[in-house]
C-alpha cells in the first residue's frame, strides 16, 4: 500500500497518531489471542491425555459388560431351548399315556398321539446334538412300533367285527324287481331257475344298459372312515404288507361264504362230466344268475369298500381287491370253463349262448372293477372264458348243421306227419333267432363282415341240411303217394314256421315263395299218384263207342255199346280202391288244418264231379239189374263225408298257430 502524505497541518498528525494507536491495539490483541490460543492448546492437550487415560482405565469394564450381555443372551436361548425340549418331553409323556391305554376306547385321540410321537421323533432326529437325543429316539421309536402293532390289532378287530357274509335274501333285494326269484333262492334245488333252454327260453337277456343294480353296503358307512384312518397310519409306518395281509385274511373267507350261501359250488371238470344233462342244465341256469349277482353286487360292493378304505393308495386298493376276489372269481370261472371244455352236443348250444351272453353283459363291469396291474390275471381269465364259450358255441353250431344232414335216426312216422327231426330243427332255428344279437357278436369274435349275412347263410345251410335229410327219410316209404305227403307236410311246416318268425326277414320272401311252390308240387304229386288209378275207374274211356244214346239193348249194352258188366266191374273196382284208400289214408296225417282241408278239397274237386258224372251216365244200367247197391254203394255225399275222414291220424308235433 502507498504511504499517505503527511499533512502539513495538525490534522494530518492526528490521523497518523490514530492509525498508529489502532495498529498498536490490534498487535496487542493478536498477541493476546495467540497467547490464549497457546493456553487453550495446552489445556486441550492436557484434557486429551486425561481422556486417553480414562479410556484405558474403562476398557476392562467394557469387556466384562459385553461378556455379561452375551452370557445373558446365551442363557436366554438355552432356557428357551430347554423349554422346547421339556415341552417335547411333556408331549411325549402325554402321547405315551394315550398309546399305552390303547386305541379301542378313543381311536381319534390314539391317532393324534401317534402323530405327536412322530413329531417328537422328527424333532429329536433334527436335534441329535442333545446328549439325551439317542435315548429319547430309541424310546420313541419303540413306543411307535408298539402303537402301530396295537393299531394293526385294532384294524383287524374292527374289520372282523363288521365283516359278515351277505345273506341271499339281502342280495335279491338289491336286484331289479323283474329279476328277483319269486320263491326260494337260485341255490335251492326246489326253486326254478330262469328260463334259458329252448323249451322255455325267452328271459335270457335281462342285462340291458338301463337296468339299475344297487350293491349292498358290506361295511357300515360310519365305520369306513375309521378303517381308512387306521390303514393310513399303517401305510405311513411302512406296514403296507401287513395291511394287505390282514384285509385278505378277514375279507376273503367272508366273500366266499356269501357265495356259498347263495348256492355257488366248487365243481371240477370231472364233476361236470358225470352230471346228467337235466342236473347240469339246472346248474348252468343258476351259474348265470350267480355271475350276475357276484359281479354286479358282491364284487362291486367289495371294490367300493377297497376304494374308500384305501383312498389315496391306488396300488393297495387294487392289491387288496385282487387278493380278496381271486378265489371267488376262479371258483365261478372254473365251472364255466368246464362247460366250455365238455363234450359238445346240440342241446348245449343254447346254454353256451346264455353263458357267453352273460359274460358279454358283464364285460364292462369286469373291466372297470378289475382294473390295475394287480387284477390283470383275473381280468384276462374272465375274458378268456368269453372267448372259449364263443369258440365252443361256434363249433357246436357247425356240429349241429352236420348232424342235421347226417341224422340217421330210425324214428318212423308211418302216417307221413311232421318228423320229430323237422320240429326239433325248426324250433332250434327259431330259438337261435331269440339270440340274434348274441350270435352276431359271436360271429364278430372270429370273422369280419356283415353279421346279418353270416346268420342268414348259417340258417339257410341248416334248412338245406334238413331238406337233404328229409329227402332221404322220404325214400323209406313204399307208397310213393305217402312219400309226397310226408315231404309236403314237413316242408310246409318249415315254410309256415319261417313265415311266423324273425327268420322270414333274414331268409327273405324269395325263400318262402320258392318253398311254398315245393309244397304245392308235392301236393300235386300226391294227388296224381294216390288218385290216378281210382279216377281211371270213372273214366269213360274204354266204355263207350262213338255215337248212340243211353237206351239199353237186350244184351245188357246201351245203344252206345257200353257193357253193363264192364260198368259193374268199374264200380266194383272203384269201391274196393276207395275203401282201401279210406282205410289207409284216414290213418295218414296232415297236421296243419288249413293244409288238410285244402288237400281234401283238391281231391274232392277231382273225384266227386267224376263220380257224379259216371253215375249219372251209367247208373241206370246198374240200377235196372240185380243188387244195384252192391255196385253203387256210395252217393256223392257219402264220398264227400268219407273224404272228410282222410288225414285224421294223430296230430303230434303240430306247431302252434
pLDDT of res. 619 = 86
State the pLDDT confidence band at 41, using cuts at 50, 70 and 90: low
State the pLDDT confidence band at 47, using cuts at 50, 70 and 90: low
pLDDT of res. 623 = 82
Q: What percent of the chain has pLDDT over 70?
A: 76
The span from the CA of 407 to the CA of 399, in Å, is 11
pLDDT surpasses 80 at 639: yes
Q: Pick the residue with more confidence: 66 or 183?
A: 66
**How deeply is 588 buried, as exposed, middle or buried, from its count of CB atoms within 10 A (0-12, 13-18, 19+)?**
buried
- What is the mean predicted confidence (pLDDT) over 245-269? 94
Residue 562, C-beta contacts closer than 8 angstroms, at least 6 positions apart: 543, 544, 545, 618, 621
pLDDT of res. 625 = 72
Residue range 528-551, pLDDT digits in tens: 999 999 999 998 887 765 444 444
CA nearest neighbour of 110 among 124, 96, 123, 122: 96
Q: How many CB atoms lie within 10 A of CB 245?
A: 15
CA nearest neighbour of 494 among 456, 526, 460: 460
pLDDT of res. 130 = 60
The span from the CA of 359 to the CA of 479, in Å, is 52
pLDDT of res. 455 = 84
pLDDT surpasses 60 at 635: yes
> Which residue is listed with cell 408298539?
146
Q: At what angle do helices 636-643 and 593-623 cross, to 10 degrees?
A: 160
- Three-state SS string over 112-176 comes to HHHHHHHHHHHHHHHCCCCCCHHHHHHHHHHHHHHHHHHHHHHHHHHHHHCCCCCCHHHHHHHCC
Residue range 453-502, pLDDT digits in tens: 788 888 899 999 999 999 999 998 999 999 999 999 999 999 999 888 87
pLDDT surpasses 60 at 155: yes
Which range is least confidently modeled, 121-130, 333-342, 563-572?
121-130
pLDDT surpasses 80 at 103: no
pLDDT surpasses 50 at 192: no
How high does pLDDT run on average in the chain?
Answer: 82
Burial 53-86 (b: 16+ CB within 10 A, else e): eeeeeeeeeeeeeeeeeeeeeeeeeeeeeeeebe
Residue 354 in contact with residue 288, Cβ under 8 Å? yes
pLDDT of res. 199 = 35
- What is the mean predicted confidence (pLDDT) over 126-145? 64
pLDDT surpasses 60 at 436: yes
DSSP for 415-468 reads: T----HHHHHHHHHHHHHHHTHHHHHHHHHHH--S-HHHHHHHHHHHHHHHHHH
pLDDT of res. 197 = 30
Which range is least confidently modeled, 313-317, 546-550, 594-598?
546-550
Rank 67-71, 494-498, 506-510, 542-546 by mean pLDDT and report only the highest.
494-498
pLDDT of res. 649 = 83
Q: Pick the residue with more confidence: 188 or 41?
A: 41
State the pLDDT confidence band at 269, using cuts at 50, 70 and 90: confident
Residue range 603-625, pLDDT digits in tens: 999 999 999 999 999 988 888 77
Which range is least confidently modeled, 66-80, 187-201, 211-225, 628-642?
187-201
Residue 579, C-beta contacts closer than 8 angstroms, at least 6 positions apart: none
Rank 88-97, 98-107, 159-168 by mean pLDDT and report only the highest.
159-168
pLDDT surpasses 80 at 55: no
Which range is least confidently modeled, 112-121, 169-178, 273-282, 500-509?
112-121
Residue range 383-429, pLDDT digits in tens: 999 999 999 998 998 899 888 988 887 777 889 999 999 999 999 98
Amino acid at each position: 500500500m502507498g504511504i499517505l502524505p503527511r499533512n502539513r497541518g495538525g490534522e494530518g498528525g492526528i490521523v497518523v497518531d490514530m492509525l498508529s494507536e489502532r495498529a498498536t491495539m490490534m498487535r496487542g490483541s493478536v498477541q493476546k489471542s495467540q497467547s490464549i490460543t497457546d493456553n487453550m492448546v495446552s489445556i486441550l492437550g492436557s484434557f486429551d491425555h486425561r481422556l486417553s487415560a480414562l479410556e484405558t482405565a474403562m476398557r476392562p469394564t467394557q469387556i466384562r459388560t459385553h461378556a455379561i450381555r452375551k452370557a445373558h443372551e446365551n442363557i436366554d436361548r438355552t432356557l428357551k431351548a430347554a423349554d422346547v425340549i421339556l415341552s417335547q418331553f411333556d408331549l411325549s409323556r402325554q402321547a405315551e399315556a394315550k398309546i399305552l391305554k390303547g386305541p379301542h376306547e378313543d381311536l381319534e385321540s390314539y391317532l393324534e398321539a401317534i402323530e405327536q410321537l412322530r413329531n417328537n421323533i422328527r424333532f429329536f432326529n433334527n436335534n441329535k446334538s442333545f446328549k439325551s437325543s439317542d435315548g429319547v429316539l430309541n424310546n420313541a421309536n419303540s413306543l411307535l412300533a408298539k402303537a402301530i402293532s396295537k393299531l394293526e390289532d385294532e384294524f383287524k378287530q374292527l374289520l372282523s367285527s363288521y365283516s359278515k357274509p351277505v345273506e341271499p335274501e339281502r342280495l335279491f333285494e338289491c336286484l331289479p324287481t323283474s329279476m328277483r326269484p319269486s320263491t326260494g333262492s337260485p341255490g335251492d334245488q326246489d326253486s326254478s331257475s330262469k328260463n334259458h333252454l329252448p323249451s322255455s327260453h325267452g328271459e335270457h337277456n335281462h342285462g340291458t344298459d338301463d337296468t339299475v343294480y344297487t350293491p349292498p353296503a358290506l361295511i357300515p358307512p360310519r365305520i369306513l372312515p375309521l378303517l381308512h384312518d387306521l390303514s393310513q397310519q399303517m401305510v405311513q409306518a411302512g406296514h403296507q404288507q401287513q395291511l394287505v395281509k390282514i384285509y385278505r385274511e378277514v375279507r376273503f373267507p367272508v366273500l366266499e361264504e356269501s357265495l356259498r350261501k347263495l348256492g355257488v359250488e366248487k365243481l371240477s371238470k370231472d364233476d361236470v362230466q358225470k352230471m346228467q344233462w337235466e342236473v347240469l342244465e339246472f346248474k348252468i341256469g343258476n351259474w348265470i344268475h350267480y355271475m350276475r349277482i357276484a359281479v354286479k353286487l358282491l364284487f362291486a360292493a367289495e371294490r367300493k369298500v377297497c376304494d374308500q378304505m384305501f383312498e389315496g393308495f391306488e396300488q393297495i386298493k387294487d392289491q387288496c381287491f385282487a387278493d380278496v376276489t381271486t378265489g371267488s372269481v376262479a371258483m365261478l370261472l372254473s365251472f364255466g370253463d368246464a362247460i366250455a371244455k365238455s363234450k359238445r352236443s346240440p342241446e348245449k348250444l343254447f346254454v353256451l349262448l346264455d353263458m357267453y351272453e352273460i359274460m358279454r353283459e358283464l364285460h364292462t363291469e369286469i373291466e372297470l372293477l378289475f382294473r390295475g396291474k394287480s387284477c390283470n390275471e383275473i381280468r384276462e381269465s374272465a375274458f378268456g372264458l368269453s372267448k372259449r364259450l364263443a369258440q365252443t358255441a361256434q363249433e357246436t353250431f357247425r356240429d349241429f348243421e352236420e348232424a342235421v344232414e347226417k341224422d340217421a335216426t330210425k324214428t318212423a312216422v308211418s302216417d307221413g306227419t311232421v318228423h320229430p327231426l323237422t320240429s326239433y330243427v325248426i324250433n332250434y332255428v327259431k330259438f337261435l333267432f331269440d339270440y340274434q344279437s348274441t350270435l352276431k357278436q359271436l360271429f364278430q369274435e372270429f370273422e369280419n363282415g356283415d353279421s346279418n349275412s353270416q346268420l342268414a347263410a348259417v340258417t339257410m345251410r341248416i334248412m338245406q341240411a334238413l331238406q337233404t335229410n328229409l329227402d332221404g327219410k322220404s325214400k323209406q316209404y313204399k307208397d310213393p303217394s305217402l312219400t309226397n305227403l310226408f315231404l309236403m307236410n314237413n316242408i310246409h311246416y318249415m315254410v309256415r314256421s319261417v313265415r311266423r318268425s324273425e327268420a322270414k326277414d333274414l331268409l327273405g320272401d324269395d325263400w318262402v315263395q320258392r318253398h311254398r311252390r315245393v309244397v304245392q308240387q308235392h301236393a300235386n304229386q300226391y294227388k296224381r299218384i294216390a288218385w290216378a288209378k281210382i279216377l281211371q275207374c270213372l273214366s269213360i274211356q274204354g266204355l263207350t263207342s262213338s255215337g248212340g244214346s243211353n237206351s239199353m239193348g237186350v244184351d245188357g249194352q246201351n245203344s252206345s255199346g257200353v257193357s253193363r258188366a264192364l260198368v259193374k266191374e268199374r264200380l266194383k273196382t272203384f269201391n274196393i280202391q276207395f275203401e282201401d284208400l279210406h282205410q289207409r289214408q284216414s290213418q295218414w296225417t296232415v297236421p296243419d288244418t288249413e293244409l288238410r282241408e285244402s288237400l281234401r278239397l283238391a281231391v274232392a274237386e277231382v273225384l266227386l264231379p267224376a263220380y257224379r258224372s259216371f253215375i249219372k251216365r251209367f247208373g241206370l244200367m246198374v240200377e235196372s239189374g240185380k243188387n244195384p247197391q252192391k255196385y253203387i254203394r256210395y252217393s256223392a255225399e257219402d264220398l264227400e263225408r268219407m273224404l272228410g275222414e282222410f288225414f285224421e291220424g294223430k296230430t303230434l308235433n303240430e306247431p302252434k298257430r
